[in-house]
Amino acid sequence: DYYPDHRAVVSHSVFNHTGTLVASADMDGVVKLWSPYPDVKTEDSIVMKGAITALEWMPKTDKFLLIASKSGCIRLYDTQDKKTAFDILPENVPIFKENRIMCVKATPSEANFLVSVAPRLKLNSESQSSTTPSLHIFDFKTQKLETTMKLDGAIVNTCSPNHNGGLLVCGCNDGMIRILDLRSGDVVVSWLAHQGEVFTLKLSVQEDKIYSIGSDNKFAVWSLAQTGARLMEQSLHDKAAGPFIFGLGPVGVDSSSHGYGVGSGGGRSVLLRPYGSLFAFHQENNLFTCSPNGPIVYKIKENELQYAMSLRGHTSSVITIDCCSALQCGSCVSASLDGRVSLSTLLPQ
């Protein structure tokens, strides 16, 4: 099945916890909420100013969706009552006015949420604004800023808190994985994980491993028991982690707001950075990855990835992916540069 209603590059596509609803977002600032079964059907639409850079369901409920846009707005949206619970606008929070939002993550208790920001790139210039990358903790009830942390000038692209919210595992633009103590704000430990940027990072269910994908197109597994010890590293197929290049004709998205323009006039291309997840798990031993034609699935063995199958359904590069095991059959949703969102049902093996 396909979800046909996006008209721009889709940056995120994520199942809710029960698999009854998918939230997908694009570079035009449009978020669609749609039911995947029994028939694909739009349930709601949300429009924000600027490309969507973060989209995630709250950890404990299917009711609320946390959304952030490149314009500096953060919204908590009530998907059941179909209304905005709150907006945090850049006019009221100077750090959002001066920076771009890279990722947003709710803590497991849902008391706080974390926001990673990076300096805005100045148009027609390689120089950045005078601000520095930082990580901020906000209170959900008051929407007030509580704490600010800076990580040696590194940008947090992706992060995952542990079960009690005491530690935060961060994947950064300098290739480092950093583990933060959120109570003290200190970096407990860090190590070089990838040559280039860390784009997507996840904790295992048991929280004894960290999985990561970087711009070096490698998938790696790290030990949390022996912090930073590499358990596996494997080069992946072409375009598992980009580069994601989107060609623009005379009519297309504005390159200045989504990536870096290449060329000029009707023949320019845009190098897009991935904001959504570049990999997903089905039952934790099946790894779903992005590729130019559709998801590629690997079995995770002790020391290596073993190719399992390819899921077709795309004619341009898949840029984000998610899986859901909540239903009787697992499901995979993938989205590509041409705005196509594909839904696959995974038969039990």
Q: By 3-state DSSP, what share of the chain in percent is helix, strand and coil, each rounded to 5?
A: 5, 50, 45
Q: What is the percent of the chain where pLDDT is above 70?
A: 90
**Cβ-proximal residues to 186 (8 Å cutoff; 6+ apart), any chain:** 180
pLDDT category at 9 given cuts 50, 70, 90 is: very high
pLDDT at residue number 349 = 53
* Closest to 222 in 3D by CA, of 210, 237, 240: 210
| Nearest-10 Cα torsion for 179, 185, 186, 190 | 20
The tens digit of pLDDT for each residue in 18-55 reads 999 999 999 999 999 999 988 999 999 999 999 999 99
The yes-or-no verdict on residue 303 having pLDDT over 50 is yes
pLDDT at residue number 312 = 83
Specify burial of residue 289 (Cβ count, 10 A radius: 0-12, 13-18, 19+).
Answer: buried
The yes-or-no verdict on residue 10 having pLDDT over 90 is yes
The tens digit of pLDDT for each residue in 124-144 reads 555 555 678 999 999 999 999
Looking at 242-311, list the stretches that DSSP marks H as alpha helix, in order from N- to C-terminal side: 255-258
DSSP state of 162: -
C-alpha distances in Å from residue 67, one per residue of 24, 86, 105, 300: 11, 11, 10, 31
The yes-or-no verdict on residue 11 having pLDDT over 80 is yes
pLDDT at residue number 130 = 65
The yes-or-no verdict on residue 158 having pLDDT over 70 is yes
- Interatomic CA distance for residues 247 and 265, integer angstroms: 11
Is the pTM higher than 0.85? The answer reads yes
- Interatomic CA distance for residues 278 and 267, integer angstroms: 28
What average pLDDT does the segment 317-324 reach? 95
The tens digit of pLDDT for each residue in 58-74 reads 999 999 999 999 999 99
331, 19 Cβ separation under 8 angstroms: yes
Can you tell me whether residue 103 is helix, strand or coil? Answer: strand
The three state secondary structure string of 276-287 is CCCEEEECCCEE
Measured in degrees and rounded to the nearest 5, phi and psi for residue 134 equal -160, 165
C-alpha distances in Å from residue 277, one per residue of 158, 318, 322, 347: 9, 11, 7, 23
pLDDT at residue number 269 = 81
- Torsion-angle region of 277 (φ positive above 0: left; ψ -120 to 50: alpha; else: beta): beta
The answer to whether domain 2-150+236-267 has CATH 2.130.10.10 is yes
pLDDT at residue number 262 = 38
Which DSSP string corresponds to 200-233? EEEE-TTSSEEEEEETTSEEEEEETTTTT-EEEE
Can you tell me whether residue 189 is helix, strand or coil? Answer: strand
Min mean pLDDT across 195-204, 219-228, 272-281, 327-336 is at 327-336
